[in-house]
Structure 1
Amino acid sequence: MYQTIVVEKSDGVAKLTLNRPDRLNSFNVQMHEELQTALDEISTDKAVRCLLLTGAGRGFCAGQDLNDRAVSADQAPPDLGMSVEKFYNPLIRRITNLKMPVVCALNGVAAGAGASLVMACDIVVAARSSSFILSFAKVGLVPDSGSSWHFARAIGLPRAKAMAMLGNKVKAEQAEQWGLIYQVVDDDALTEETDELSKYLAKQPTEALANIKTLVHTAFDFSMNEQLERERQAMQHLGRSHDYSEGVAAFIEKREPDFKGR
């Protein structure tokens, strides 16, 4: 069905692999369109309760494929704003608003929009050899696809500005120390670690996790009193859910809960 991505489903997890390894999984129009279709399918599949995102080959994603006709600079000047609005912004919104946890298994380099895609995920586990590069300034551009938003919040203004202006490579261990990602593991352990993490999350109270995402993503947009009210509303809603009743019952009965994601 797909030519630039691979989608596999099992144990409540949809594993989506960017699959243009000869181009370091860089984006072209076809990949964007296939990602949109795949995310439509995943978001409406009630059997899927966690998304695992990774890349094929030796890199996660090198960002935009500059050979793609939609952004090529060797002809008439391209409308990069249109490309961002049509493809990248919808992708980042879909990932961040997906009502399930999104795990990233970061293998190899995440450059440009590839780094932006990583930061849209909820939990990032990186192979020790992997790295980030905000490479936009190297071609006379600015960080897009939410990079300026995510990186500034994750590592603070000084480091975010330096990464964006210098375009230096930040290795996985440095990214972990800065708080950019959740965890670094040895390269040969990445697949097992992220598969197990994703399977665990798929068994958790998915609706509660979705509410956690929403509260954390927008926490900087509200005053403390407004955030307290939003938390109250979420608690009121979740207190009526199946998973809350099941979680309390399992705790009292000293057994593992059987969450349904509702």
Structure 2
Amino acid sequence: MTAEVTVEDLGDRLIVTNRNAAQRNPLSEEFYRKLGAAVEAANKEHRIGAVVLTGEGNFFCSGGNLNMLKERSALSFEGRQNKIDELQNLIRAIRGCRKPLIAAVEGGAAGAGVSLALACDFLVASKEAQFTLAYVKAGLTPDGGVTSALLQALPRALVNEMCLLATPISTERLYSLGAVNVACEQGEAMTEALALADRLVAGPIQTIGDIKALLTDAFELTDDQQLDHERDAIARALVAPEGQEGINAFLSKRRPNFRELEIK
């Protein structure tokens, strides 16, 4: 049987591909398990500088399967919570990962597929792609952290359209509002995502992880707390191998070589 989710280890990055194009790459137990393992591996191994997430064929991810959701209605409230937490905990892991994740979206994303795309640190999407939250049409509410992610990235009026009216929103509209990093031609999402990964893995991976943590914490901390976190982070960075290499390279007018450093 062909795996529905593959993880390619290219040495300095991982590529996770949902391979169920016939059903527009829905969520599955295998998807949760393999993406979760990839995020964990990226966290542990310094050599991995980025994770690229994509879907096979012409659609990124169609989210949850309604037949599967209907079966869950027979569970207790706690049982339903536990099943939904499979997605919630995956989103937490993506947000908490010290390595950047890049979503490469062809065709579009729906439901929790939108949640996954927005949970990533970079979003690359083909210009014809549509992002749709149709929960309301099934009498359901959104999950996967999408409500907070949307409100952090977009005007409230547009979020209302997406969540309350299930209005599909185009890549180009999201790009114009700064919610998409790269709007590319059809079939070019993975190429553009890998180009972003090239830039990330050439950089100071430990430092990038520290910066991502600062950006994540900024939504939860007070301004004074964030100032303290920034102070502590740069105080550590000044004497860390990457900081030393970066400073010395700048003063010597040469390109820094972060990949050859020994990071403990």
Q: TM-score, normalised by structure 1?
A: 0.91
- 1:135-214 → structure 2 map (5 Å cutoff): 135-214=134-213
The one-letter amino acid paired with 1:20 is: N
Deviation at 1:245, TM superposition (A): 0.7
Q: Contact 1:4 / 1:34 at 8 angstroms: preserved in 2?
A: no
Q: Contact 1:11 / 1:199 at 8 angstroms: preserved in 2?
A: no
How large is the RMSD of aligned CA atoms in angstroms? Answer: 2.1
Distance of 2:38 and 2:102 partners within structure 1: 16
Distance of 2:46 and 2:231 partners within structure 1: 27
SS at structure 2 position matched to 1:8: strand
Closer, same or farther: CA 164–232 of 1 in aligned 2, 3 Å: same
Closer, same or farther: CA 17–81 of 1 in aligned 2, 3 Å: same
Closer, same or farther: CA 80–170 of 1 in aligned 2, 3 Å: farther
Residue 41 (1) aligns with residue 41 (2): yes
Deviates more, 1:115-124 or 1:205-214: 205-214
- 1:58-77 → structure 2 map (5 Å cutoff): 58-68=58-68, 71-73=69-71, 76=74
Distance of 2:83 and 2:206 partners within structure 1: 33
Identity of aligned residues (%): 27
The one-letter amino acid paired with 1:32 is: Y
Closer, same or farther: CA 247–2 of 1 in aligned 2, 3 Å: farther
Deviation at 1:4, TM superposition (A): 1.9
Deviates more, 1:250-259 or 1:238-247: 250-259
Q: Contact 1:204 / 1:259 at 8 angstroms: preserved in 2?
A: yes
Alpha-carbon deviations, 1:198-237, whole Å to 9, x = none? 0220111112211222222232322322221111111112
Deviates more, 1:161-170 or 1:213-222: 213-222
Q: Contact 1:15 / 1:52 at 8 angstroms: preserved in 2?
A: yes
The one-letter amino acid paired with 1:35 is: L
Which residue of structure 2 aligns with residue 133 of structure 1? 132
Distance of 1:204 and 1:99 partners within structure 2: 14
Distance of 2:237 and 2:46 partners within structure 1: 19
Q: Contact 2:5 / 2:30 at 8 angstroms: preserved in 1?
A: no
Q: Contact 1:118 / 1:124 at 8 angstroms: preserved in 2?
A: yes
Which residue of structure 1 aligns with residue 84 of structure 2? 84
Distance of 2:26 and 2:112 partners within structure 1: 9
Q: Contact 1:50 / 1:102 at 8 angstroms: preserved in 2?
A: yes
Q: TM-score, normalised by structure 2?
A: 0.90
Deviation at 1:111, TM superposition (A): 0.7
The one-letter amino acid paired with 2:74 is: A
Deviation at 1:175, TM superposition (A): 0.9
Distance of 1:167 and 1:144 partners within structure 2: 14
Distance of 2:3 and 2:207 partners within structure 1: 34
Deviation at 1:238, TM superposition (A): 1.4
Distance of 1:145 and 1:188 partners within structure 2: 27
Which residue of structure 1 aligns with residue 111 of structure 2? 112
Q: When the two structures are aligned, how many residues end up with a matched partner?
A: 259
Distance of 1:80 and 1:179 partners within structure 2: 35
SS at structure 2 position matched to 1:199: helix
Closer, same or farther: CA 190–142 of 1 in aligned 2, 3 Å: same
Deviates more, 1:29-38 or 1:47-56: 29-38
Distance of 2:100 and 2:219 partners within structure 1: 20
Distance of 2:218 and 2:170 partners within structure 1: 28
Q: Is there any run of 5+ residues in structure 2 with no aligned partner, and where?
A: none
SS at structure 1 position matched to 2:66: coil
SS at structure 1 position matched to 2:212: helix
Deviation at 1:11, TM superposition (A): 5.0
The one-letter amino acid paired with 1:166 is: L
